Amino acid sequence: MPRPATDPAKAAQIKLLRQQAGRWLKSAREKAGLTQAELAEQVGLRYYTFVSQVESGLGRLPIETQASWAMALGLDPSEFAKTLLRYYEPELYRLLFEADDAQGRATA
């Protein structure tokens, strides 16, 4: 069965969120004092161009690599993954975390 066509507004939102994720990752890399090439080497990439693609919003980090990226950047892997989830899968993030926040406020 073919996939439905992507809604242009949704596609624009996805692009914007990936660009925001890329800026966040670039900032984290710069705070860690790493070049793109140094980060690529630390996470086992052959070429730094993937780091560049992710930072520009053209790519996204696969789930299985997020822990190594977090450790290379000196960040908590759980918080790192949670932050990326907010950018990469905002609806899932909302379901998992914002519902918990709202319930916590309701019972407080």
pTM greater than 0.85: no
Distance from C-alpha of 7 to C-alpha of 9, rounded to nearest angstrom: 6
Rounded to whole angstroms, the maximal C-alpha distance in the chain is 50
What integer pLDDT is reported at residue 97 of this predicted model?
Answer: 92
Of 100 and 53, more confident:
53
Over residues 32-61, mean pLDDT: 97
Domains of the chain, CATH where assigned: 15-107 (1.10.260.40)
Half-sphere exposure of 79 (CA within 13 A, CB side): 8
In the prediction, which pLDDT does 43 show?
97
Q: Mean pLDDT lowest for which of 21-25, 71-75, 102-106?
A: 102-106
> What average pLDDT does range 58-64 have in this prediction?
95
The CA distances from residue 82 to 1, 78, 87, 94, in Å, are 32, 6, 9, 11
pLDDT at residue 41, rounded to an integer: 97
Specify the pLDDT at position 6. Answer: 72
